[in-house]
Amino acid sequence: MRLDRKNHILGKISNDVFLKKYWQKKPLLIRDAIKNFKSPITEKDLFRIAQNENAISRLIEFKRGIWQVKYGPFKKSDLPKKINTPWTILVQNINHHLPFAESFLNLFKFIPYTRLDDLMVSFATKKGSVGPHFDSYDVFLFQAKGEREWKISEQKKFSLDKKSAIKIITNFKTKNTWVLKPGDLLYLPPNVGHWGVSQSDDCLTYSIGFRAPGTFEIQSKFLDFIQDNLITNKNNLYRDPNLNLQKNPAEINSNMIKKIQQIVNQLRWNTNSINNFIGQLLTEPIEGAVFQTSKSMTVGVFIKDLVKKPLKLNPKTRMLFIKNNFYINGELIEADKKSIMYLKQLANDREISIKSALNKKDLNALGIVLLPLYLSGFIDFIQ
Ligand SMILES: [Mn+2]
């Protein structure tokens, strides 16, 4: 199964119409989003990745009337036998582990990378389900193998099961029921109740997940950013050579209040610092992301490879830009004018070939920008 980068995934709906009419607004079902789809990702891949220490996975079973959840990493023996109760295993960030999953995510590039999060894949045996629930984020649900019935609700108010370890709606009212076959795609905006139940013993569903920073998160991280970037001299202490005798020693005098107000008002930020904050915030890698660093090398040696082999971003790398400022995994990169075009291409396409007729000086400048990223494991050569 090969995917074309230019594959259109929304059937008869254009990307533009999707954004205007459906995105964050209402559900959309697309039959045969990919015709004759055969999942290159198998349940075996999932079980293998779920054993990995860095993988994020969950096993969900409905047993004796209670929804139960176990968190990975799992051993092979942790997985229930098929003939037991219906069960579901969900593994996140599959795009960090399998190149096909990464190329599948590319089909959703009509949503900016700042919002696109990961590809989660779930496997369920017949009747396997994670129950009726709603999510805070947008999601595309792509049926990759087997069949899954989806019930969708239109209700705004939900009651939740207090006994359950996972979020379960107890007053779910079905508005639509659809059975998704391989190649079918369902888009759901945040807070739409949904209930998927596997209809086969080989049900694989890909969930294209999105991210959205919270207002509190933005504000509290901005305060951290301001603190990290303070340039105030730590040895500056409060001084009061004109201290007057005061009647009430417990009273905070007006001079002190005025001076502290002035100090607080010295905290300043401008568009530039806010932009840097935004770039760093949105390129922060996921928690626990580890990058393999390389041994130091000279720019000369690096450039020899650079003109021969294409470069790609590590699947865990987040790279974005604002005008000519580039941010990669939470760091700001200083780039010279000639390198900007290449960095934009690397950020957009997540890979780049430098075979062009760059002169020696410009090639060297680009090498100086890229080498530290290579040594940090943020980018790698395609062998
Ligand atoms: Mn969901």
Q: Could you report the per-residue pLDDT of 214-231, keeping only the tens digit for each?
A: 999 999 999 999 999 888
The CB density around residue 261, as the number of other CB atoms within 10 Å, is 10
What is the CA(141)–ligand 1 centre distance, in A? 9
Ligand 1: centre distance to CA 38 (Å)? 23
Summarised one tens digit per residue, pLDDT across range 234-274 is 899 999 999 999 999 999 999 999 999 999 999 989 999 99
Residue 338's pLDDT is: 87
- The structure tokens 């659809």 sit at 178
pLDDT digits (tens, 9 = 90+) for 341-383: 999 999 999 999 987 667 888 999 999 999 999 999 999 999 8
Residues 6 or more apart whose CB falls under 8 angstroms from that of 266 comprise 232
pLDDT > 70 fraction of the chain, expressed in percent and rounded: 99
Residue 70 Ramachandran class (φ > 0 left, ψ -120 to 50 alpha, else beta): beta
Enumerate the H helices of 88-231 as residue ranges. Answer: 99-105, 215-228
Cα 331 to middle of ligand 1, angstroms: 32
Question: From the CA of 103, how far away is ligand 1's center (Å)?
Answer: 22
* d(CA 59, ligand 1 centre) in Å: 14
What's the average model confidence in pLDDT over 314-334?
96
Q: In this predicted structure, what is the pLDDT of residue 5? A: 61
Cα-to-centroid distance, 146 and ligand 1 (Å): 18
Q: Are 363 and 354 in contact (CB under 8 A)?
A: yes
* DSSP, res 20: I
pLDDT tens digits, residue range 288-298? 899 999 999 99
Buried b / exposed e along 290-316 (16+ C-beta atoms within 10 A): ebeeeeeeebeebbeebeeeebbbbbb
**CA 145 – CA 215 distance, rounded (Å):** 38
In the reported structure, the alpha carbon of residue 194 is separated from the centroid of ligand 1 by a whole-number distance in angstroms of 7
Mean pLDDT for the stretch of residues 90-117:
96
- pLDDT band of 6, cuts 50, 70, 90: low
**Two structure tokens written together for 89:** 């295993």
Q: What angle do CA 179, 180, 182 make, to 5 degrees?
A: 145
| Whole-number pLDDT of residue 96 | 96
Give Cβ neighbours of residue 271 (< 8 Å, ≥ 6 apart).
Answer: none
Compute the distance from residue 134 Cα to the ligand 1 centre, in Å: 6
* DSSP element (H, E) containing 331: strand 331-333
Alpha-helix runs per DSSP H in 140-270: 215-228, 254-265
Note the pLDDT of residue 234: 87
Q: Are 272 and 354 in contact (CB under 8 A)?
A: no
Distance 190 CA to ligand 1 centre (A): 9
Q: Measured in angstroms, how far is the CA atom of residue 85 from the centroid of ligand 1?
A: 21
Helices (H) and strands (E) in the chain, counts: 9, 17
Distance of CA 127 from the midpoint of ligand 1 (Å): 16
Q: Which residues surround ligand 1, an ion (CB under 5 A)?
A: 135
Residue 325 three-state SS: strand
Which H/E stretch holds residue 68? strand 66-71
What DSSP state is assigned to residue 51?
A: T
CA of 137 to the centre of ligand 1 (A): 9
- Using the mean position of ligand 1's atoms as its centre, give its distance from the Cα of residue 139 in Å: 8
151 CA from centroid of ligand 1 (Å): 11
Structure token pair of residue 15: 């990307």
Per-residue pLDDT at 163: 87
What domains does the chain contain, in order, with CATH numbers? 15-210 (2.60.120.650), 215-283 (no CATH), 299-381 (3.40.366.30)
Report pLDDT digits (tens) over 37-68: 999 999 999 999 999 988 999 999 988 888 99
Q: How far does residue 321's CA lie from ligand 1's centre (Å)?
A: 31
User: In which band, very low, low, confident or very high, does the pLDDT at 142 lie, cut at 50, 70 and 90?
Assistant: very high
Mean pLDDT of 127-135: 96
Residue type at position 93: N
Q: What separation in Å is there between the alpha carbon of 94 and the centre of ligand 1?
A: 17
pLDDT tier for residue 19 given thresholds of 50, 70 and 90: very high
Ligand 1 mean position to 374 CA, how many Å? 37
- Examine residue 73 and say whether the peptide bond preceding it is cis (omega within 30 degrees of 0): yes
State whether residue 65 is helix, strand or coil. coil
